[in-house]
C-alpha cells in the first residue's frame, strides 16, 4: 500500500463501513460490531502509519482526483493534521467498543441506524482535520453537525428538543463561518487555504479582511461551544445516547479548536491574527478567563455526573482558546497539548459514566453512594481521569496546564493564570465530591434493591475505559517527546515552545 495515499484509506474506511452497516445491520445486528471495530482499527493503524511517515519524510499535500487547486480540493497532511488524524481515530475506536454494548442496551433494534450516522460522523471528523479548502471545511462541518443532530435526537426524554436547540445554534455558527468564506472568496477568487494566505497580504481591503476573520472566528466559537455561546452544549451532550456522548464529547470541540488554529495560521498569518487589531488578542484572553470561571461555577451547581462533565468541557474549551490567543509559543504548545490531553480525559470520564449508567441506570449523585464496592475497576479508572482533569502529575492534564500557565505568565496575563488555578481547584472539589460518595459512603437502600447494579460493566465497555486511563499517564510521561517531535513541528513560523 502506498503510504502517501494511506490517509485516504483512513478517511474512506468509516465512510464505506457506514453503508455496509446500514445494509447488513438490517439483516442481523451481529454484523455491526465486526464491521465498525474492523474499520476503525484499520483507520487507527493507518493514521499511526501516516503520522510516522510525516515525521520521517515531512509534510505533503494531496489533490483529490488530480484536480489542482484552486479548482480542486487539496488535503494537507502535516505534523498537526496527522496528530489529529491519529487522535480522532484512536478516540473513536475506544469509544466505539463501549458504544456497542450501551447502544444495544439503550436502542435495541436501532443499532444499524445509530452506527450508520456514527460512522459518517467519524468520516466527517477525519475529513475536517485533513482538508486544505475553506469551503470543503464548511461542507464537512455540516456533515458532522447533521449526523450529530441525528445521534443526539435518538436519546430519550428531552433529547429531541435538545437536538433542535443544537440545530438552531449550529446553523447560526455555520452561517457565520460561510459568510466569512464568502468574503474571502470575493476578495481572493479562491477557496484553497494556501492560495488565500498568499493573496491576502497584498490586498488593500482591511475592513473586508477583518470582517471575514471575525465571521470565521465567531462561527467556529459557536460550533465549539465557547462560553457564552455554549447554551446548546450541556443539554445536547448530557441527553444524547450514552454511546454517542462518549464519542461526541471528546472529539467535536477539540476538532473545532484545531480548525480555529488552522484558520488563524493557515489562512491568516500570526502577525495579522495577533497584531493587526490592537486589544483584540488581549480581550479574547480576558473573555476566555471569564468563560473558564463561569463554566466552572456552573459545574458546581450540577447534581448529575454527565451534566457536570459537560460544564467542565465548556471550561476546557476556554482553556484551549485562551491558550492559543496568548500569542506565544508556550501558550500555543499548551493549547495543542491540551487538545490531546482533554480528548483523552473526556473520553475516560465519559466511558466511566457509560459503564456506571449501564449498571445503575442513573448518574444522579445520590445513586453513586458506595459505587466503589460494586465497581472498583470502573471507579479506579474514573479516579485517574478525575486526577488528570484536576491536573495531578504525572497525568497528561498536569503538563498541558503547566504550559498554559507558563504561557500566560510570559504573555503577562495574570487573569488567565488565576482562572486556570481556580478552575483546577473547583475541579478538585467536584471530583472529590464524587470520590467521597463512591468510596466512603454506604450504598443507598435504593441501590441495594437493584440486582442489576452488582458487578462491573461488560469487558467490551471496561477494556477501553482501562486503556484510556493508562493513556492519560502514558501521554503525561511522554509529553516531552510529544512536544519535541510533533507539536514543535506543528507550530507556526516564529513560535517556539
Q: Tell me the average confidence (pLDDT) per consecutive run of 10 residues in the chain, 497 residues long.
A: 75 92 87 92 94 90 78 87 94 92 85 91 94 92 93 86 91 94 92 90 88 94 90 88 90 94 91 81 93 93 91 94 92 94 94 90 84 89 94 92 94 93 94 89 57 70 93 93 89 70
| Number of CB atoms found within 10 A of residue 143's CB | 18
Do strands 74-77 and 60-63 pair parallel, antiparallel, or not at all (unpaired)?
antiparallel
Which cell goes with 205?
481591503
Supply the pLDDT for residue 121.
95
Q: Residue 448: its pLDDT value, please?
A: 46
Model confidence pLDDT, tens digit, residues 348-405: 999 999 999 988 888 888 888 888 888 899 999 999 999 999 999 999 999 999 999 9
Q: What is the CA radius of gyration of the chain?
A: 22
Secondary element (H or E) of residue 478: none
Q: Residue 367 and residue 360: Cα distance in Å, rounded?
A: 8
Four-CA torsion 30, 36, 42, 44, nearest 10 degrees: -140
Stated as kind and residue range, the H or E segment containing 304 is none
Q: What is the predicted pLDDT for the residue at 361? A: 81
Give the C-alpha distances (Å, rounded to integers) separating 112 from 18, 21, 260, 290, 355. 9, 6, 33, 42, 21
- Fill in the DSSP letter of residue 361: S
Residue with cell 450501551: 102
Q: How high is the pLDDT of residue 4?
A: 66
Residue (of 311, 316, 290) closest to 299 by Cα position: 311
> How far from 66 is each of 61, 284, 478, CA to CA, in Å?
11, 40, 39
* Of 53, 18, 8, the residue nearest 39 (C-alpha): 18
338, 316 contact by CB (below 8 A): yes
Tell me: the pLDDT tens digits for 84-128? 999 999 999 999 998 998 888 888 888 889 999 999 999 999 999
The reported pLDDT for the residue numbered 470 is 95
CA pseudo-torsion sign 443, 444, 448, 453? negative
Q: Which of 73, 227, 198, 68 is nearest to 140 (CA)?
A: 73
pLDDT given at position 181: 95
Amino acid at each position: 500500500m502506498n503510504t502517501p495515499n494511506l490517509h485516504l484509506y483512513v478517511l474512506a474506511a468509516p465512510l464505506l463501513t457506514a453503508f455496509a452497516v446500514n445494509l447488513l445491520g438490517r439483516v442481523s445486528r451481529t454484523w455491526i460490531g465486526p464491521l465498525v471495530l474492523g474499520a476503525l482499527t484499520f483507520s487507527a493503524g493507518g493514521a499511526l502509519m501516516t503520522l510516522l511517515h510525516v515525521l520521517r519524510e515531512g509534510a505533503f499535500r494531496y489533490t483529490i482526483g488530480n484536480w489542482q487547486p484552486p479548482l480542486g480540493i487539496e488535503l494537507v497532511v502535516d505534523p498537526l493534521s496527522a496528530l489529529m488524524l491519529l487522535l480522532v481515530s484512536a478516540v473513536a475506536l475506544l469509544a466505539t467498543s463501549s458504544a456497542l454494548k450501551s447502544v444495544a442496551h439503550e436502542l435495541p433494534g436501532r443499532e444499524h441506524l445509530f452506527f450508520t450516522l456514527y460512522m459518517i460522523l467519524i468520516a466527517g471528523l477525519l475529513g475536517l482535520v485533513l482538508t486544505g479548502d475553506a469551503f470543503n471545511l464548511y461542507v464537512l462541518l455540516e456533515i458532522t453537525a447533521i449526523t450529530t443532530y441525528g445521534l443526539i435526537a435518538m436519546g430519550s426524554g428531552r433529547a429531541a428538543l435538545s437536538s433542535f436547540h443544537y440545530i438552531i445554534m449550529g446553523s447560526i455558527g455555520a452561517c457565520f463561518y460561510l459568510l466569512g468564506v464568502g468574503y474571502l472568496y470575493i476578495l481572493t477568487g479562491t477557496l484553497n487555504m494556501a492560495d488565500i494566505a498568499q493573496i491576502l497580504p497584498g490586498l488593500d481591503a482591511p475592513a473586508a479582511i477583518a470582517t471575514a476573520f471575525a465571521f470565521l472566528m465567531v462561527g467556529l466559537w459557536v460550533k465549539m461551544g465557547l462560553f457564552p455561546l455554549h447554551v446548546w452544549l450541556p443539554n445536547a451532550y448530557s441527553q444524547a445516547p450514552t454511546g454517542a456522548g462518549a464519542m461526541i464529547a471528546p472529539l467535536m470541540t477539540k476538532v473545532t479548536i484545531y480548525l480555529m488554529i488552522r484558520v488563524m495560521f493557515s489562512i491568516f498569518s500570526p502577525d495579522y491574527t495577533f497584531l493587526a487589531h490592537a486589544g483584540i488578542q488581549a480581550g479574547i484572553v480576558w473573555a476566555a478567563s471569564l468563560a473558564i470561571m463561569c463554566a466552572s461555577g456552573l459545574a458546581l451547581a450540577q447534581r448529575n455526573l454527565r451534566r457536570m462533565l459537560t460544564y467542565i468541557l465548556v471550561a476546557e474549551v476556554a482553556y484551549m482558546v485562551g491558550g492559543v490567543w496568548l500569542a506565544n509559543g508556550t501558550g500555543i504548545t499548551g493549547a495543542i497539548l491540551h487538545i490531546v490531553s482533554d480528548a483523552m480525559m473526556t473520553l475516560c470520564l465519559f466511558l466511566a459514566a457509560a459503564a456506571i449508567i449501564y449498571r445503575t441506570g442513573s448518574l444522579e449523585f445520590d445513586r453513586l453512594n458506595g459505587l466503589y464496592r460494586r465497581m472498583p475497576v470502573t471507579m479506579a479508572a474514573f479516579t485517574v481521569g478525575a486526577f488528570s482533569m484536576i491536573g495531578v502529575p504525572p497525568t497528561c492534564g498536569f503538563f498541558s496546564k503547566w504550559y498554559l500557565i507558563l504561557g500566560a505568565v510570559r504573555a503577562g496575563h495574570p487573569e488567565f493564570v488565576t482562572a486556570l488555578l481556580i478552575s483546577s481547584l473547583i475541579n478538585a472539589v467536584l471530583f472529590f465530591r464524587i470520590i467521597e460518595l463512591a468510596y466512603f459512603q454506604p450504598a443507598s437502600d435504593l441501590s441495594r434493591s437493584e440486582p442489576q447494579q452488582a458487578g462491573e460493566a461488560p469487558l467490551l465497555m471496561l477494556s477501553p475505559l482501562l486503556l484510556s486511563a493508562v493513556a492519560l499517564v502514558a501521554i503525561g510521561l511522554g509529553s516531552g517527546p510529544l512536544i519535541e517531535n510533533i507539536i514543535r513541528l506543528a507550530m507556526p513560523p516564529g513560535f517556539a515552545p
